[in-house]
Homo-oligomer: A and B are copies of this chain.
Amino acid sequence: MIRQKAIEMVVKQGLDGFGVNRLAKAAGVSPATIYIYYKDKEDLIFQLGTDISKRMLADSLQDFDPDASFAEGLKKQWLNRMQFYLKHPLEVQFIEQIRYSNYYEEIQAELSKGFREVMGKFVHNAIERKELIPLPFEVYWSVAYAPMYQLIKFHNQGKTFTGRKFSLNDKTILQTLQLVLKALKP
Contact = CB atoms under 8 A, between A and B. Distances in A.
B100 A96 contact: yes
A179 B135 CA distance: 11
A14 interface: yes
B115 A162 contact: yes
B149 A112 contact: no
Contact of A138 (B105, B108, B166): B166
A112 B162 CA distance: 6
A155 to B, nearest CB: 9
Interface string A58-101: 00000000000000000000000000000000000000110111
Contact of A16 (B13, B101, B112, B161): B101
Contacts of A101: 14-16
Interface of A: 13-17, 96-97, 99-102, 105, 108-109, 111-112, 115-116, 133, 135-139, 141-143, 145-151, 154, 157, 160-164, 166, 172, 175-176, 179-180, 182-184
21 contacts: A13-B102, A14-B102, A15-B16, A16-B16, A17-B102, A96-B100, A100-B100, A109-B163, A111-B161, A112-B161, A115-B161, A115-B162, A133-B179, A137-B162, A137-B164, A138-B151, A138-B172, A141-B150, A142-B151, A143-B183, A183-B183
